[in-house]
Amino acid sequence: MERKAKYTYEEKLQACMDYLSGKRSTKEIAENLWMGKGGQ
């Protein structure tokens, strides 16, 4: 049985592009996607 992805391809791609371009930090990206402590 397959699991449903929590994040779409587009969300992951945007997060990577934001990080690599220096627009957002990993903390900001995680908070935006509800990852980490207190997230999903």
The pLDDT of residue 1: 67
- In the numeric block, which tokens belong to residue 25? 């930090």
Segments making up each domain of the chain, as ranges: 7-40
pLDDT per position in the chain (40 positions), as tens? 677 778 899 999 999 999 999 999 999 998 888 876 654 4
pTM over 0.85: no
Cα–Cα distances in angstroms (integers) from residue 24 to residues 4, 6, 13, 15, 17, in the given order: 27, 21, 13, 8, 9
